[in-house]
Structure 1
Amino acid sequence: MDDHYLAAPDRYQRQPYRPAGHHGLRLPSIGLGLWHNFGEGSDPARVKAMVHQAFDLGITHFDLANNYGPPPGSAETTFGGLLKNSLAPYRDELIIASKAGYVMWDGPYGDGGSAKYLFASLHQSLRRLGLDYVDIFYHHRPDPRTPLEETCQALALMVRQGKALYIGLSNYPAALAAKAAARLAELGTPCLVNQLKYSLFQREIEAQTLPVCREQGVGVVAFSPLAGGLLSDRYLAGIPADSRAASASPFLQPDQITQDKLARIRALHALARQRGQALSQLALQWVLRDPIVSCALIGASSPQQIVSAVDALTLPALEDDLQHKILEIMN
């Protein structure tokens, strides 16, 4: 065990914790997503510095999935190494999530929503993480080939077996999310959170999905709140050579960065500058303005990006007039 890391004593004064729907669990306003920069080729020193910085700032929620890497599984292995060493004394202070739903291995049982796949994937994730249970286990996406009843029964059984404390859904559209949440509640395992892509550039969930979550007492975990980095200062002058878009990342393609989007980004940047803050901070405040959002998951490539995100929580709230100006830019 690494005896050199001692978590900051004031970590729980660094950010507010928000309820996850109608449940007792509270999540940090900002969580850390490990979907990139934590794979096999990542610099171990930088990974450790980012995770330690996150926890020192009150980020207790670390979001993983079976296929995060690259290669798939390696992000869980990386985080499992930290759990075995420097984070070992703090396990009971952490909310660790994993997921299954995308292709993980060859053959008919390595993808989807069947009980066979979900349990096999969960067991593999627990081995990689070195844990007896995860705090949240998500079905990562709907599977039209598997009856929803089978998926819900499998998720509920995981909780009854103590392999997951809470169940979440991810990328479920409003009607299907409502049906799944209702069935999970009947099975005695209410859905804790629905993890959804949500940002100023991705607002489709506002019309139907957010109202369903409010009605059913399900919290929302927002991923990609900075639109893959678009809602930051990095793209004000176009596509930087070292950016995610320039590297043909599956999360952000060059053809997604249109002149219209760049104009909106620059207008939002000007509003942020008037408030003396970064565009990324404005974008995070906007996502978190709705109390149904329990947590905004950020990605990071440096500890300083995590500091900046958490600092956004100390800034004045977005006034109604400013929200109106933001929506005028985006509509």
Structure 2
Amino acid sequence: MSPAETIVEAQWAAERQGSYRFLTDQSMYSLFRRRPEGAVFPTAQRHGMGVLTFSPLNGGRLSGRADVSRGHRASSRPALYDPATPAGRLKAAALEQLTALADEAGLRLPQLAIAFALAHPTVTSVLIGPRTAEQLDGLLDGAGTTLTDDVLDRIDAIVPPGTDLNPEDNYAATPPPLEDARLRRR
């Protein structure tokens, strides 16, 4: 995900140089990672850009294959999913509510997660990233799923728009100058 200001700068630079402007952004976006809704998606819309999102299952967290409330992990990055951490507890609580919502809507959790990402008007495509043919078949079963406004409103109540349950999930969440003191000192 490019910060919104970087998108604007790239568009201005392309215009000044008379070159092709950027036509798409690629953002990590899921039920647990909704930060792009705050600035990136509106900026992309203003500039007529498409948005290709990835990780709609939040690194496997929304795959429905792990019981995170008991500490089982669906990710290779265990520290991010530890139910003993505040972020882990937030995710476990949200996961429980989202799983119940998916059941009520007659969906499996991965179907809800992908349909959610596709429901945003700025999102033009979602990279799903299955690892097996069985996973692909399961995800494709829900390809035509459209969520009702009621379901989307309930998702907003569980995970508010524009928020991240754990900002560390996004490998590019922290700009380099914030991590490396040498980049912010003379």
The TM-score, its normalising length taken from structure 1, stands at: 0.43
Is contact 1:285-1:313 (8 Å) kept? yes
Correspondence 1:322 to 2:151:
yes
Alignment of 1:205-244 (within 5 A): 205-236=36-67, 237-240=69-72, 243-244=74-75
Post-superposition CA distance 1:284-323 (Å, at most 9, x none): 11111023211111222211211222221223x2111111
Residue 179 of structure 1 corresponds to which residue in structure 2?
9
Residue 81 of structure 2 corresponds to which residue in structure 1?
254
Alignment of 1:101-250 (within 5 A): 171-185=1-15, 186-236=17-67, 237-240=69-72, 243-245=74-76, 248=77
- 1:323 counterpart SS class: helix
Total equivalences in the alignment: 155
Distance in 2 (CA, whole Å) between partners of 1:204 and 1:321 is 21
Question: Which protein is richer in strand relative to its size?
Answer: 1
The TM-score, its normalising length taken from structure 2, stands at: 0.74
- State the one-letter code of the partner of 1:303: A
- State the one-letter code of the partner of 1:221: L
Larger radius of gyration: 1
Correspondence 1:264 to 2:94:
yes
Distance in 1 (CA, whole Å) between partners of 2:134 and 2:71 is 21
- 1:266 counterpart SS class: helix
Distance in 2 (CA, whole Å) between partners of 1:238 and 1:310 is 29
Is contact 1:226-1:280 (8 Å) kept? yes
Post-superposition CA distance 1:193-252 (Å, at most 9, x none): 1001111111111111111100111110111111111112123353437x424xx47xx7
Deviation at 1:172, TM superposition (A): 1.4
Q: CA RMSD in A?
A: 2.1
Post-superposition CA distance 1:254-305 (Å, at most 9, x none): 3376122111101111111112221111011111102321111122221121
Distance in 2 (CA, whole Å) between partners of 1:191 and 1:311 is 33
- State the one-letter code of the partner of 1:318: L
Residue 307 of structure 1 corresponds to which residue in structure 2?
137
Deviation at 1:253, TM superposition (A): 3.2
- State the one-letter code of the partner of 2:80: Q
Post-superposition CA distance 1:44-95 (Å, at most 9, x none): xxxxxxxxxxxxxxxxxxxxxxxxxxxxxxxxxxxxxxxxxxxxxxxxxxxx
Distance in 2 (CA, whole Å) between partners of 1:330 and 1:293 is 18
Distance in 2 (CA, whole Å) between partners of 1:219 and 1:226 is 20
Unaligned runs of 5+ residues in structure 1 are 1-170
Distance in 1 (CA, whole Å) between partners of 2:70 and 2:115 is 24
Distance in 1 (CA, whole Å) between partners of 2:14 and 2:138 is 37
- State the one-letter code of the partner of 1:240: H
Residue 121 of structure 2 corresponds to which residue in structure 1?
291
Question: Which protein is richer in helix relative to its size?
Answer: 2
